[in-house]
Amino acid sequence: MDVTSPCHGSESEASSTSEYGPAPLVGYAVKPRKDHLLQRRYFPSKIGGSPAWLDPELLPSGELTCDSCAKPMAFLAQLYSPGENDAAFHRTIYVFACTCCPGSFRALRSQLPRDNAYYPPVPASEDDTTVSDDLITSRSCSLCGLPRDVAECDDQGVHVACRRRLEGRWKLKVDEFGLFIEECDEEMTDSESDVLTSDLIGDEGHLLEEYEKKDEDEIMDDSEVEAFNELCPEIDADDQAHKEFEILAKANPGHVVYYCRGGEPVWLTSMGKEPASPTPCERCGAPREFEFQIQPQLVYKASCDFDFGVVAVYTCSADCEIEGYAREFTAVQNEPEEWVTSSEKQEVVEIPVSSKR
């Protein structure tokens, strides 16, 4: 699932880029038509599970531990986003999170030219389910999916830390989904909020429709919404950032990724500490540009055992040549203290159970 076509440097650029900048995309977490389509040979965009490494040899073992606690990080998501130059014909951005240290995230970029040692010019057949990936599995922890040399392993090649977490009934992986990508609706209409998938085309359109039907019973009815709103802190009427975030969320209900390379992030709020500004690329000096953000909705959709607000990913605007994997820049915005404090002061309200459940 190539996320760049409608947004950055594509044949459809003229129709999707306005005077206001590149047209954004949104991604929905859906179950793939066939599980094997999330393997690396299909260049997937995905959530959770094990990373589908673009470069299967030069794995980024040294980049997969938290800077704060030195523990192995958890794989969160990857987006396949080919660049404009020949060196980035194949290009994937990976995001990892530390489950112990709030706000600790890592973004890595990997890219390959069209002519490379791992992928033939002809796309892999979707019907071929027999291919195994021994090059990756033989070097990875079977529990967390990260390279074995990220941390100490036992005799079976499993991270000792993973064994301990498993004994403590901690989750070792984020729930796995494919990412269905479509153009972003920037305004919400009544018809769009009722029937989100009416204009979907392509092989994956039915996946999103099935996903929404599956989650239909989980949507709050009016009484639940009223009770939920009583629990939530009052949002500052002057918080323009939050207004824009709400518009995006309501116009594209359920999306977990917002993609707009060369655009701007949509922050959760203008309150609290301002998110960090991206630094230039350490390798070539080119400025980094915003590429995508992971939305807080993913915490619930993928049953993450750690919380976050918005995780914005900035990447080298030049897609400079690299070997293996290179670190990029993340800026994280969590709920401001004002929201948490206000929420704690609210009277506890019992949320009624919907009759639909």
Backbone phi and psi for residue 223, each to the nearest 5 degrees, phi listed first:
-70, -35
**Ranked by mean pLDDT, which of 104-118, 237-251, 330-344 comes out on top?**
104-118
Q: What is the pLDDT of residues 98-114, one digit of tens each?
A: 988 999 999 999 999 99
Q: What's the token pair of residue 22?
A: 């590149």
| CA of residue 319 relative to chain centroid, distance | 20
Sorting pLDDT into bands at 50, 70 and 90, what band is 223?
low
H or E stretch at 201 = none
Between these two residues, 101 and 221, which has the higher pLDDT value? 101
CB 44 within 8 A of CB 178: yes
Vertex 123, ends 119 and 124: CA angle to 5°?
85
Whether the CB-CB separation of 66 and 98 falls below 8 Å is answered with yes
pLDDT band at residue 37 using 50, 70 and 90 as cut-offs: very high
Binning the chain into helix, strand and coil, the percentages to the nearest 5 are 25, 20, 55
State mean pLDDT over 76-96: 97
Give the model's confidence band at 271: pLDDT under 50 very low, under 70 low, under 90 confident, else very high. confident
pLDDT in tens, 130-175: 777 888 888 999 889 899 999 989 988 889 888 888 777 677 889 9
CA distance 275 to 323: 30
Going from N- to C-terminal start, the domains of the chain cover: 13-345
Mean pLDDT across 235-250: 86
What does the alpha-carbon distance between residue 338 and residue 307 come to, in Å, rounded to a whole number?
A: 17
The residue written with tokens 């670190």 in the block is 327
Is the Cβ–Cβ distance between 268 and 299 less than 8 Å? no
